[in-house]
Chains A and B, each alone.
Chain A
Amino acid sequence: MLDLTQQILELVRLTSTDLPPDVEKALHQALDHEQPGSAARGALETIIKNVELSRANSTPICQDTGTPIFYVYYPAGWSTRQLRSQIEAAVVEATKKSYLRPNSVDSLTGKNSGNNLGGSYFPTVHFEEVDGNTLTIELMLKGGGCENVGIQYSLPNSQLGAGRDLAGVRKVVLDAVHKAQGQGCAPGILGVAIGGDRGSSYYASKEALFRKMDEPNSNPELGALETRLTEEANQLGIGPMGFGGETTVMGTRITALNRLPASFFVTISYMCWAYRRRKMTVFRDGTVKYE
């Protein structure tokens, strides 16, 4: 089996220091909508300059390099145990090179492991076997500020008048955006999962965030709700950093899971503007492509 440690290290570097082009484009679009001289526009100008500077200097876009979340899609024949240890080695190396800040803290002792490892959940690695012969690794770095404003609702919710249907989903998502205000470093992106159990719903809400900004939802009904929610969330006027302004969220991604008859969860993962997600593809001949 190939040793991919160096290639995965490059994936981590790229993810932490160079924002994906579709996200950068969305930030520029947001900038165009804000009034000249406004605090909101100033915030976006600073953010965009910061993105450019990080790319040029190969330094982290944000100092909170978050939880590294890996999704590995492997063809038959790869050892997931070896892949995991290569990912861990790459994460340790990336921490040494300051692409990642030491971020893994023992919840009982408060001690920081110093190398971004810690148990089987840090970094988070999901494996899925796929057909064909290319291996794909996706990585998302999810910061703490925005993770803290993530929320799960159990429907029906009488306070919001939200029933167990898409109209109810719409209401709780808008409530979540209002609750978050600017705290998740708005403008954000919403990952929404409908259904599942509490755990799978949170996972799926993050998986939804791997979809690119301009990639439509395969379900047209959910796609329409995404567009509507983005528009309505922006009517709230919270704006970049919560300064007030036109862009509060840059996009919404919704996914649906089967659920138990008794439960109807809606989970919202809020992703900050530092929407760091990248992908590497390893072809059969060993060549690697990053995007």
Chain B
Amino acid sequence: MHELTTPISDETIRSLHVGEPVAITGVMLTGRDAAHKWMIDTFIKKNRQPEGDDLEAYEAIKPLLNGGLIYHCGPVVAGLDTKEYRFVAAGPTTSIREEPYQGDVMRHFHVKGVIGKGGMGTKTLQACQEAPGFYLHAIGGAASLIAQTVVKVLGVYKLEFGVPEAMWVIQVKDFPAVVTMDSHGQSQHAVVEEKSKKVLEALLAKH
């Protein structure tokens, strides 16, 4: 088990390889479909004009994402009425939906790590090699346990996207994950897929 503390240095990232379990302590930002689309459309491709508090939110998330981590998660949050937010359930959501956006988001904001489930494709893997960065696979379904590792909610941006889609700034302690895409161009998902394909072919040839 590797203990990682944010901000994570390039040296640490380069020292990690696929298949290695990690425990993260520090700060991360949640973001899923709406957040990724918003970042791309408004600030990267700029095919939509910033409106409302867009620019303010952009300035606020920039330093957080710079060298930081983004977590594909749609949490269940308590304390919405008092704004004393607390994460109740915080498992990862399927990452592949952000594949069209993720690489560009990583480049624009200098994001170092992406956390989610199910792995991502070649565009993100490419961005991980450039950054250097990595993809960390959280444990799908372990919502209560992961919520307990969120020791503090530091803030929230774009709450108008809805609670699951907003960008939550969270402080975590010993958040469990596994490196499944590394900065050396390796993807555990591709390796497992290929290995299991060979076994499948052998099994299909049998009666």
Q: CB within 8 Å of B: which residues of A?
A: 37-39, 42-43, 46-47, 49-50, 53-54, 57, 59-64, 98, 101, 143, 145, 160-161, 167, 171, 174-175, 178, 181-183, 185, 232, 235-239, 241-244, 272-274
Closest residue of chain B to A56 (Cβ to Cβ) is B144
Q: CB within 8 Å of A: which residues of B?
A: 1, 19-21, 74-76, 88-91, 94, 117-119, 137, 139-146, 148, 176, 178, 180, 188-189, 191-193, 195-197, 199-200, 203-204, 207
Most central of A54, A59, A244 by chain B CB within 10 Å: A244
CB-based closest 8 A-B pairs:
A63-B89, A50-B145, A62-B141, A50-B142, A185-B140, A63-B143, A236-B196, A39-B178
The smallest beta-carbon distance between A52 and chain B, in angstroms, is: 9
Q: CB distance A50 to B204 under 8 Å?
A: no
A-B contact pairs, 17 of them (CB 8 A): A42-B21, A47-B139, A50-B142, A53-B148, A59-B88, A59-B89, A62-B143, A98-B76, A143-B141, A145-B94, A145-B140, A171-B204, A175-B204, A181-B189, A236-B199, A241-B178, A244-B192
Apart from A62-B91, A175-B204, list 14 A-B contacts with CB within 8 A: A43-B139, A47-B141, A54-B144, A63-B76, A101-B89, A181-B193, A182-B189, A183-B94, A183-B118, A232-B203, A236-B203, A242-B119, A243-B178, A272-B140
Q: CB distance B145 to A53 under 8 Å?
A: yes
Q: CB distance B200 to A236 under 8 Å?
A: yes
| Bound CA span A98–B139, Å | 21
The smallest beta-carbon distance between A129 and chain B, in angstroms, is: 36
The smallest beta-carbon distance between B88 and chain A, in angstroms, is: 7
Q: CB distance A174 to B200 under 8 Å?
A: yes
| Bound CA span A143–B140, Å | 11
When A101-B76, A171-B204 are in contact, do A272 and B141 touch as well, CB less than 8 Å?
Answer: yes
Q: CB distance A39 to B193 under 8 Å?
A: no
Q: CB distance B192 to A242 under 8 Å?
A: yes
- Say which residue of A49, A101, A237 sits within 8 Å of B196 (CB atoms): A237
The smallest beta-carbon distance between B202 and chain A, in angstroms, is: 9
| Bound CA span A181–B19, Å | 16
Q: CB distance A42 to B178 under 8 Å?
A: yes
| Bound CA span A38–B21, Å | 8
- Say which residue of B88, B118, B143, B191 sits within 8 Å of A182 (CB atoms): B118
Q: CB distance B145 to A241 under 8 Å?
A: no
The smallest beta-carbon distance between B182 and chain A, in angstroms, is: 13
| Bound CA span A185–B180, Å | 15
Q: CB distance B204 to A174 under 8 Å?
A: yes
Q: CB distance A237 to B178 under 8 Å?
A: no
Closest residue of chain A to B20 (Cβ to Cβ) is A39
When A60-B89, A98-B76, A181-B189 are in contact, do A50 and B141 touch as well, CB less than 8 Å?
Answer: yes
| Bound CA span A237–B197, Å | 10
Closest residue of chain A to B21 (Cβ to Cβ) is A42
| Bound CA span A101–B143, Å | 12
| Bound CA span A244–B188, Å | 8
